[in-house]
Structures are given as structure tokens and as C-alpha cells.
Amino acid sequence: MSDISCHRDGPVLRLTFNRPHVLNAVTPAVLDDLTELLTETAEDPSVRVIVLAGAGRAFSSGADLTAVSDLPPEATLQAANRLIRCLGTLPQPVVAAVQGPAAGVGASIALACDLVLASTTAFFQLAFVNIGLMPDGGATLLVPANIGRARALRLALLGERLPAALAADWGLIHQVVEPPELAGAVDELATRLSRAAPLALAAAKRAVNAATLGGLEDSLERELIGQSALLGSEDFQSAVTAFRDKQTPYFAGR
């Protein structure tokens, strides 16, 4: 699992996307490895808090469009859905530390964590529409659950970057700090959570998620159906080619 680094710091488990050469773009294997690690952690009561971060200058730029794979195009989406379900059902609180881009499914993963801390250099981007796709990884529920329909549609339809400071102002994330302060702020929050009553944290997380994210399974299913159709479209294939050639895609609506 070299693409996911794992470090134990007392009651805190730190998991890091370790593909900085591609801005931590994810593959199905990376997502499944992370889900496996988290599933194992759920059974370990000595782990009180999980911190999820990205190596280098990004949290995650989303799905790796350059990866050569024999897997079907839906494989990344299905692996992401398994991870999103896992994050929501873990008894431990999960803190996302975002120091740069969190785009596409990378944004979905960050926002599926329980508390998100970001540096002022970070941004969140539902960039799917820019390559002819729709938001996935539960984003069609996670984002409006936090910031409402109008703002969620702004992000989903325009595919624009949302700076961390504005994300915090909107209530999409927990806190934004200057880059040199991010590690310390994450450590402080993780320590605070590690000293709290674990059964109470688990019960609170479970109740809040049930009240606000009860439609997650339906959302994941809608995303799977819609995204599967879009992955087979000419528009997406054109966008992938344009991405690799560093050109602007043309969308014909087919």
C-alpha cells in the first residue's frame, strides 16, 4: 500500500495519499486500499481519531485520468462509493487536512470526513462538469447538506474553484488557517478529539449522519447510474483526450 502512507501517533492514526507526482490523483486500487485500512481501524478501539491528508502540495486532484487500466470506467466510482460509505460509518471521527487542491472525487472524499481543516492555499472544486461528468462520491448529497441547494448547484454546474476561506465562510468546512499553522491546528484538533469520550463521539456522529445524510445510498445509486452513462459519452472521451493533450475540450452533447 505504498500509495497510502500510514503512521500511528498514539491514539491518532494518520493516513496520507502518497502520489504527489500526480497531485494524489486516485485509482480504484488506492481507494480500495484506503477503505481496507479504515475498515481494519474501525475494529481497533485504541485508535481514537483518524487524520486523512495528502502528500506534497495537494489533498487529491481527483480520479487519475492518465492511469492505464483494464478495469471498466465505473471502477473508480464504485471504489469511491465504498470509501464514502466507510467514512460515514466509522465510529472514530475523521479529520481531513487539506493543504492544496481537493478536486473532483478528491473533494468528495474530503467533505465526507467529519471535520475539514484547510490552509488558505487550499481550494475545493467539483470539477466534474469540466470533463463532461456529474459530481459523484456522494457529493450530490454531501455538498447541499452543508451549504444548501443554490450554492451546491453553483459548484456543480460551473465547476469553479472554491477558495478555502470562502468554503469556511459558507460552512462547507470546519476551519481555515495559514499554511504554516495547518499541521499544528490538525494536531490540536486530533488531540482534543482523542481525549473526548469515544462512545459519545461515535453516537453523536451516527445520529447527525442519520439526520442529515439518510439519503446517501439513494444519492450514490443516482450518481452511479448517471455517471455510468456519462462515462460512455463522446463528450467524456473528448475531454479525456483534450486533458492528455493539454487542450480545451469541445462538448457536442453526445
Is residue 230 a part of any domain in this protein?
A: no
Distance in angstroms (rounded) separating the CA atoms of residues 145 and 89: 17
Print the SS3 string covering the chain. CCCEEEEEECCEEEEEECCHHHCCCECHHHHHHHHHHHHHHHCCCCCCEEEEEECCCCCECCECCCCCCCCCCCHHHHHHHHHHHHHHHCCCCEEEEECCEEECHHHHHHHHCCEEEEECCCEEECHHHHHCCCCCCCHHHHHHHHHCHHHHHHHHHHCCCEEHHHHHHHCCCCEEECHHHHHHHHHHHHHHHHCCCHHHHHHHHHHHHHHHCCCHHHHHHHHHHHHHHHHCCHHHHHHHHHHHCCCCCCCCCC
pLDDT confidence of residue 246: 87
pLDDT confidence of residue 69: 66
**Is the Cβ–Cβ distance between 72 and 84 less than 8 Å?**
no
Domain count of the fold of the chain: 1
**Is the Cβ–Cβ distance between 247 and 108 less than 8 Å?**
no
Q: What residues make up the domain containing 168?
A: 4-179
pLDDT confidence of residue 244: 85
Is residue 189 a part of any domain in this protein?
A: no
pLDDT confidence of residue 1: 53
Is residue 237 a part of any domain in this protein?
A: no
pLDDT confidence of residue 228: 94
| CATH code of the domain containing 148 | 3.90.226.10
Is residue 135 a part of any domain in this protein?
A: yes
Is residue 232 a part of any domain in this protein?
A: no
Per-residue confidence in pLDDT tens, the chain, 254 aa: 579 999 999 999 999 999 999 999 999 999 999 999 999 999 999 999 999 999 999 999 999 988 756 677 789 999 999 999 999 999 999 999 999 999 999 999 999 999 999 999 999 999 999 999 999 999 999 999 999 999 999 999 999 999 999 999 999 999 999 999 999 999 999 999 999 999 999 999 999 999 999 999 999 999 999 999 999 999 999 998 998 888 999 999 99
Is residue 185 a part of any domain in this protein?
A: no
- Residue with grid cell 474553484, as numbered in its chain: 161
pLDDT confidence of residue 245: 85
pLDDT confidence of residue 7: 96
pLDDT tens, residue by residue, 153-201: 999 999 999 999 999 999 999 999 999 999 999 999 999 999 999 999 9
Is residue 94 a part of any domain in this protein?
A: yes
pLDDT confidence of residue 74: 87
The predicted model scores a pTM of 0.95
